[in-house]
Each structure stands twice: as C-alpha cells, then as structure tokens.
Amino acid sequence: MNILVINAGSSSLKYQLYDMRDESVLAKGKVERIGMDSAILSHEPSGKNEVREVSEILEHTTAIRKVLGMLIHPEHGVLERIEDVHAVGHRVVHGGEAFSSSVIVNEEVKSQIKRLFDLAPLHNPAHMLGIQAVEQNLPNVPQAVVFDTAFHQTMPAHAFLYAIPMVLYRRHKIRRYGFHGTSHAYVSERAAQFLGKPYEELKIVTCHIGNGASCAAVMNGKSIDTSMGMTPLEGLMMGTRSGDIDPAVVPFIMAKEDLTVNEVSSMLNKHSGLLAISGISSDMREVTEAMQSGDKIAGFAFDMFTYRIRKYIGAYAAAMNGIDALVFTAGIGENSEAVRKAVCSGLTFLGLEFDDERNRTGRGQERLISTDASKVAVLVIPTNEEWMIARDTYALVSGGEPHGIAVTPEQVPSRGS
Ligand code: ADP
C-alpha cells in the first residue's frame, strides 16, 4: 500500500509518499508560495534527480494536482498510475478535546476540525484546504488525520487546566493542549525500544527542540504534562517565540507601547525568543557560531535558551518523581552538541552522567550520550512525524487501530453539576 503524507500550511504544502510494504520513502517534496503566480514545487524522487518547477499555483487543489502529476511523471515520477496512491494521511495541528487519536476523515471529523479553527487559526484552516484539495483530486481515496495534540490528551486535569475562572474552560475550552505530540510519542517509544525496556514502565522527558520547541513528561507510556499550552506559544524559549512570560506583561506593553492585540501577538510569536535576545538570528546555528567566535550577547541568548530547557526537565522530574530517560530530538535537539551539553551540565543532581565523546559522534543516528553508569539514560532520537502519520493512516485504512490511546479527557471537577 502506498500512502501519501501531507502537511498543508496556508501557503505551503509538504508531502512524502511511503511504500508501506517496506516503509520506504518513494518521494518527498514541497510546494511553496501557494497563492502566487511563481509558486515553487520541489520534488525529490527516490533514486532519481531532484526537480524544481516554478508555475502559477493559486490554491491548494492545484498544488495537490501538481504533486500528483509529479508522482506519475514519466521522467520524475515514482508511480505508474495515480490509482497507486492508496490512502492519504494529513498532519493536523489542533484536535482540541475532540480527538485523542488519529481518525479516518468523514463529514463529522471535518466539522469537528472546522469547529477548532478558533483555537488554531493559522493551522487548522490550512489543513482543511489540504483535505478538501485531496477530496477533489482523489475522490475515492480514504484520508486520515493525525493530530499534534492527540498524544497529550492523557494529561490529567491538574496539568491541563489554567488557574483562571472555570467558566472560561467550560465556555471556550481554554486549557493546555500541547503540541508536537506525534514527535513526543515517536521518540519516547523509540527510546524505550532502544533501551530494551517496557515503555509502560518508564519515566521519560522528551525535548523536541527545533524552531518551535516543547518538552513533555511521558510516564508509563502516557503524556502527563507538556510545556506548550492552548497555543504553541507557551513554555520554552524558541526561535522567535517568547515562551513563558508573566501574563500581566501583555496588557502592560499594550498600554505602554500602544499596541493592538494583533501587534502584541505578532511580537510574542514572531519577534521574540532567540531572535530578540541574540539580536542576530532565530537560527541556533548562527547564534552558536557567533557565541563561539566570542559574541557575548549570543552567548547570553544561548544560556537563556538552555537554562529554560533545564528548568522544565527539573520540573518534569518532580512531576514524575524521577526520570529514567531524557530524549533530545528535532533540528536543534538532534544536531546541536553544544545545546545538549549545556542542558545536561546542570542535571548531575539527578544522577545524570553526560558522555562528551558520545555526544560528539554518531550524528543522524539514534544513540546514547550518557555514560553506562548514568542513572538517567540520555538519548538522541531523530524524530519522524511523517512516518508516524503514514503508520496510523495505514493502520486505519486497513481496519486496525491507530497508534496511541483513545482516552476521554479527565472530567474536570465541578460543583453542583
Ligand atoms: P521546525 O520547528 O521549523 O521544524 P527544525 O526542527 O527544522 O524546526 O529545527 C530548526 C532549528 O534547528 C534551527 O534553529 C537550526 O539552526 C537548528 N539546527 C539545525 N542544524 C543544526 C546544527 N547542526 N547545529 C545547531 N542547530 C542546528
């Protein structure tokens, strides 16, 4: 069975085609600048040369048509006929409380995703465009959706509620949802396999550190807390996002700087984090290079970034009463020796013994970077969200169970109801 995995954004669309017989990637690529007359389709077929095509792509339906055309292209294609795409899996950022595992797309699922537009205004509408574009191009092909929030639906109410009037949760579903769930699920489970220990018996802290960054506490195979909140702005310091901030700062700066809601939101999401503090870049490579060539401000930004991660690891060690494994993943987590070392340097109180040599070697591979004697196994596990989406889609269209646990979110206690 061949499965096309799609991650649709408002002006871009990434794809990966899997042959599930051996789980190999037949092709991958992306369409950028959807909505413009000079949109770019970059296509990487396995075993063939990459190709880049510039053309007018005004909406997602055309983008999908172009991608499908590329998949069966006589020269750049990897399939004989379009009927060889047997199912499509979509990444969807926000599943709210409605979804705690992946599901097959039907009318009810689509209306639920639409109802969540308010909670993820930048993401869910774009995913819906992707789903509809596939329906138009491949009307008979089953589609599944895999949610970034689903894995975290196991969080207990004391971890997911904010200490604000309960009516706001009841009326607007304001609570912590958490994101990067597909990645946290994948790397925590791989960590257990790597260590040869039962997933259901481990206390794992996963650090997904890319442009967006979040930590999760995964206890006995379930997410019990995570650093992102109702939106992906809360928690760690990120490339351009502030992460945790005193909420009183928001109305304060709005008044002092005469900012609108959109302006303050844009400041916290796009002009903060590593970019704001380093004054150089949101990109960890550039900040690290500047730090290593003696730039003190870059060094300060780096310290602030890694301090916040360490603080969350400590908090989650307390939440779980200990840690068996600490996992680094995503762009920075997988690639930055310096960040991993700095984060782990203050964690000896947990019995964590970092191994410098292991940290330096084995790039791109799953590996242990703590000593054999360390009480906490520190691992680098490259994430693979696309594969998780393909796997769940395959399971669902074959009539099986998707990954993850279908849970009903814990009932929040209330008086008199
Ligand atoms: P996104 O959240 O956009 O998916 P990624 O997971 O791709 O982000 O991570 C992007 C981040 O990874 C950038 O900050 C980039 O600088 C960082 N990164 C990639 N390679 C390295 C490296 N070799 N050393 C340090 N940081 C790296």
Output the CA 285–ligand 1 centroid distance in Å: 7
Q: Which residues of 33-52 are buried (b: 16+ CB within 10 A; e: fewer)?
A: ebeeeebbbebbbeeeeeee
CB 98 less than 6 A from any atom of ligand 1: no
Output the CA 184–ligand 1 centroid distance in Å: 17
Domains 2-147 and 196-380 share a fold: yes
Q: At 50, list the tokens.
A: 């990459």
CB 283 less than 6 A from any atom of ligand 1: yes
Closest residue by CA, ligand 1 atom 3: 211
Q: Answer yes or no: are the C-beta atoms of 333 and 210 closer than 8 Å.
A: yes
- The separation between the first and the last C-alpha atoms of the chain, rounded to the nearest angstrom, is 49
CATH number for the region 2-147 comes to: 3.30.420.40
Output the CA 332–ligand 1 centroid distance in Å: 4
Output the CA 81–ligand 1 centroid distance in Å: 36
Question: What would you report as the CA-atom Rg of the chain, rounded to the nearest whole angstrom?
Answer: 22
Q: Which residues are catalytic?
A: 148
CB 12 less than 6 A from any atom of ligand 1: no
Q: At 28, list the tokens.
A: 């991958």
Of 356, 331, 328, which is closest to residue 341 (Cα–Cα)?
356
Write down the CATH superfamily of domain 196-380.
ATPase, nucleotide binding domain (3.30.420.40)
DSSP characters over 280-337: S-S-HHHHHHHHHTT-HHHHHHHHHHHHHHHHHHHHHHHHHTS-SEEEEEHHHHHH-H
The 10 Å Cβ neighbour count of residue 58 is: 12
CB 211 less than 6 A from any atom of ligand 1: yes
Closest residue by CA, ligand 1 atom 22: 335
CB 61 less than 6 A from any atom of ligand 1: no
Q: Determine the pLDDT at residue 407.
A: 65
Output the CA 263–ligand 1 centroid distance in Å: 26
Q: Is residue 358 part of an annotated ligand binding site?
A: no
Closest residue by CA, ligand 1 atom 24: 336
Q: Is residue 225 part of an annotated ligand binding site?
A: no
Q: Determine the pLDDT at residue 404.
A: 67
Q: Is residue 50 part of an annotated ligand binding site?
A: no
CB 336 less than 6 A from any atom of ligand 1: yes
Q: Is residue 201 part of an annotated ligand binding site?
A: no
CB 384 less than 6 A from any atom of ligand 1: no
Q: Is residue 210 part of an annotated ligand binding site?
A: yes
Report in angstroms the alpha-carbon separations of 141 from 25, 26, 105, 389. 19, 19, 11, 16
Spatial separation of the C-alpha atoms in residues 44 and 53, rounded to whole Å: 12
Q: Determine the pLDDT at residue 405.
A: 60
Q: Answer yes or no: are the C-beta atoms of 20 and 2 closer than 8 Å.
A: yes
Report the nearest atom of ligand 1 relative to the CA of 330.
6
Mutating to test ligand 1, I would choose from 332, 363, 383 the residue with most ligand atoms within 8 A of its C-beta, which is 332
CB 143 less than 6 A from any atom of ligand 1: no
pLDDT tens per residue across all 417 residues of the chain? 999 999 999 899 999 999 999 999 999 999 999 999 999 999 999 999 999 999 999 999 999 999 999 999 999 999 999 999 999 999 999 999 999 999 999 999 999 999 999 888 888 999 999 999 999 999 999 999 999 999 999 999 999 999 999 999 999 999 999 999 999 999 999 999 999 999 999 999 999 999 999 999 999 999 999 999 999 999 999 999 999 999 999 999 999 999 999 999 999 999 999 999 999 999 999 999 999 999 999 999 999 999 999 999 999 999 999 999 999 999 999 999 999 999 999 899 999 999 999 999 988 899 999 999 999 999 999 999 999 999 999 999 998 888 766 566 667 887 764
Q: Determine the pLDDT at residue 229.
A: 97
Whether the model clears a pTM of 0.85, i.e. scores above it, the answer is yes
Q: Answer yes or no: are the C-beta atoms of 60 and 34 closer than 8 Å.
A: yes
Q: Could you state, in order of their start, the residue ranges of all structural domains in the chain?
A: 2-147, 196-380
- What lies within 8 Å, CB to CB, of 68 at 6+ separation is 82, 85, 137, 138
Output the CA 409–ligand 1 centroid distance in Å: 33
